[in-house]
Structure 1
């Protein structure tokens, strides 16, 4: 689906009307059956936009929605713990551990990020004694994490399989054959808590712009805050939360594996309501560590190398990020020149106004 030339629905944010971009919806049950029309729709979404809603309300997907609610309850308990307890876990590796608020660059100039995050890798949760924070290390909590990771892995693998079928890939060339369960990878469940923040006065704001390292990202969030910049669009716009669905976006590794024919989604997170605690759950399906592909700089590298290089670019100081090639944070995706367009006369009654946004060289999530 091409980007619409019509003005989409808007919300008031930062003193102006900001678009709410539409998304296609893919039915998970139909995808499992590889129904031709749904597979074709999926391929088109990934090649033209790089994102879509995934409807999980059918019998095949409802358990994943229940797993999300269980994970949210675990997150509330973990993030409500004293900082010293959370810091005991620490950052074990780029894809495992706890990152406190302010670990990365923020979405605005001269700010740090406005979220804390706990990450549990798929490889780690399968160990006999996984490295898990002590305040959520009892058997029921580990089972919640196992279910969330297993369910998310099944969903994203099903999407990969449908994409392979839709593109006519066979044998070792099928995408899922570089994402085998028994091979080491950095596939990770990331649980994020965004603190209340006011762009006018606070110094910890949102999540900077980027594309994901992953092949596919499966995101659950019931609250506003996610913004995307579709291919060809000249400004960021919000993604509306939609009941019974997850948001799926293409990441760098799948874009590279597809010969750069798929679109890696440029996105960021901003505080729509400055008084709100925001929670989101993301599963990053990543290729096996030793998978080879050609990145946007023309280098033939492994998925593991790309993951580590991009992670350290994320946590680098703004002046260091500015020296890195744009292909690192944005996966080689190009941004159109930002322009100011005339806003429509009316916004939805649910719109929320926020003031004080500044543009920076790294202001995408």
Structure 2
């Protein structure tokens, strides 16, 4: 039976009412204890939707919330630094270094570019010591902040993977966490993103294109609106709708690698980022837990491919010009997930965009029991 949801609320965006999709909230403390009901709940969320809120408002999760606030302070200082300092090393590899604004396709289709700059720190690099990070954040205090965040995020993701393995009845080497060992090379990355106001980037550099993530799990923190998801359904996916920031919670979603590892049972989350308020600076933190580079799985095209190869192919697709992206298999950008219906039209001019005041209303569709 197809997953059903409650009637969503909406917010006003680009002159129309856009859904705010509801989703499950998983308690991290209960998951850490392998509470059977919570394990069943997180498995259901990954099977039916591919995303959920993770509540960290307990003694086990509050450390991560504190680490996140420390990281936000570091991000503000880093992104306010001169471009020459931020771009000291450039993009050293696909999962380490600095990406300036406009490196990828934007949220509104062909001819647009993204509206964010990003600093990426590799978990493997942090583990090796003396990491290649730009000088504005290379003092011992900043390195401790980065290390604390990577350690906390990594632990949280491993707890989720363990619960999913248990809930799916996996044993021994087949358990998901056994392809995510800390001592094996992977492209696991802590990414810090700064979305700039449109008055700085212009209207042709906004947001981040619709996609699924390369990762196994993505742990995302943002206190601001802008993230949209497209929930899966039996006739393709429903329309793009917003994810409401939820205090004390992270947003977690399934990426391609975990979908492949589950034999396509889990849904990979189709999402994008749009300028909800085009006048603000938006900050978000994403921890991309990725499988060991030599992990083998079968992708949505039926190919047997390693996690490292999938990462490299999809990263190239992200950074390719939109003309090349259009020629690539749709399974690359969307991980083989199906969708139905067109995306929203080109947005109105910035001067005509209404104030981003949240106005919850009910849609007229009828709710059906889950």
TM-score (structure 1 length as normaliser): 0.91
CA distance in 2, matches of 1:34, 1:131: 37
**Match for residue 362 of structure 1?**
none
Q: 1:235 aligns with which of 233, 239, 243?
A: 239
Task: For residue 86 of structure 1, report the CA deviation from its aligned partner.
Answer: 1.1
Q: Output one character per residue of 1:29-86: Cα deviation in whole Å (capped at 9) or x when no partner.
A: 0001111100000000000000000000100000000000000000000000011111
Q: Answer whether contact 1:257 1:293 (CA < 8 A) is retained.
A: yes
SS at match of 1:177: helix
Task: For residue 244 of structure 1, report the CA deviation from its aligned partner.
Answer: 0.3
CA distance in 2, matches of 1:5, 1:247: 19
Within the alignment, does 1:246 sit opposite 2:250 as a pair? yes
CA distance in 2, matches of 1:234, 1:246: 23
Q: Answer whether contact 1:3 1:230 (CA < 8 A) is retained.
A: no
Structure 1, unaligned stretches of length 5 or more? 341-347, 353-365
Q: Answer whether contact 1:198 1:205 (CA < 8 A) is retained.
A: no
Q: Answer whether contact 1:215 1:251 (CA < 8 A) is retained.
A: yes
Task: For residue 339 of structure 1, report the CA deviation from its aligned partner.
Answer: 8.7
CA distance in 2, matches of 1:199, 1:318: 23
**Match for residue 208 of structure 2?**
207
CA distance in 2, matches of 1:339, 1:159: 32
Q: Answer whether contact 1:254 1:262 (CA < 8 A) is retained.
A: yes
Q: Answer whether contact 1:219 1:248 (CA < 8 A) is retained.
A: yes
CA distance in 1, matches of 2:41, 2:26: 8
Within the alignment, does 1:351 sit opposite 2:358 as a pair? yes
Structure 2, unaligned stretches of length 5 or more? 345-354, 360-370
**Match for residue 172 of structure 2?**
171
CA distance in 2, matches of 1:54, 1:172: 26
CA distance in 1, matches of 2:198, 2:83: 18
CA distance in 1, matches of 2:3, 2:253: 16
Distance change (3 Å), C-alpha of 1:197 and 1:154: same
Task: For residue 194 of structure 1, report the CA deviation from its aligned partner.
Answer: 0.2
**Equivalent residue runs for 1:43-62 within 5 Å:** 43-62=43-62
- The total of aligned residue pairs comes to 345
**Match for residue 80 of structure 2?**
80
Task: For residue 23 of structure 1, report the CA deviation from its aligned partner.
Answer: 1.1
Task: For residue 129 of structure 1, report the CA deviation from its aligned partner.
Answer: 1.2
Q: Answer whether contact 1:292 1:302 (CA < 8 A) is retained.
A: yes
SS at match of 1:126: helix
Q: Output one character per residue of 1:256-297: Cα deviation in whole Å (capped at 9) or x when no partner.
A: 000000000000000010101000000000000000000011
CA distance in 2, matches of 1:138, 1:199: 30
CA distance in 2, matches of 1:65, 1:193: 19
Q: Answer whether contact 2:276 2:356 (CA < 8 A) is retained.
A: no
CA distance in 2, matches of 1:170, 1:231: 29
Q: Output one character per residue of 1:238-258: Cα deviation in whole Å (capped at 9) or x when no partner.
A: 000000000000000000000
Q: Answer whether contact 1:234 1:338 (CA < 8 A) is retained.
A: no
Q: Answer whether contact 1:234 1:339 (CA < 8 A) is retained.
A: no
TM-score (structure 2 length as normaliser): 0.90
Q: Answer whether contact 1:194 1:279 (CA < 8 A) is retained.
A: yes
**Match for residue 349 of structure 2?**
none
Q: Answer whether contact 2:217 2:290 (CA < 8 A) is retained.
A: yes
CA distance in 2, matches of 1:204, 1:72: 23
Q: Answer whether contact 2:13 2:356 (CA < 8 A) is retained.
A: no
CA distance in 1, matches of 2:205, 2:216: 29
Task: For residue 337 of structure 1, report the CA deviation from its aligned partner.
Answer: 2.2
Task: For residue 349 of structure 1, report the CA deviation from its aligned partner.
Answer: 9.3
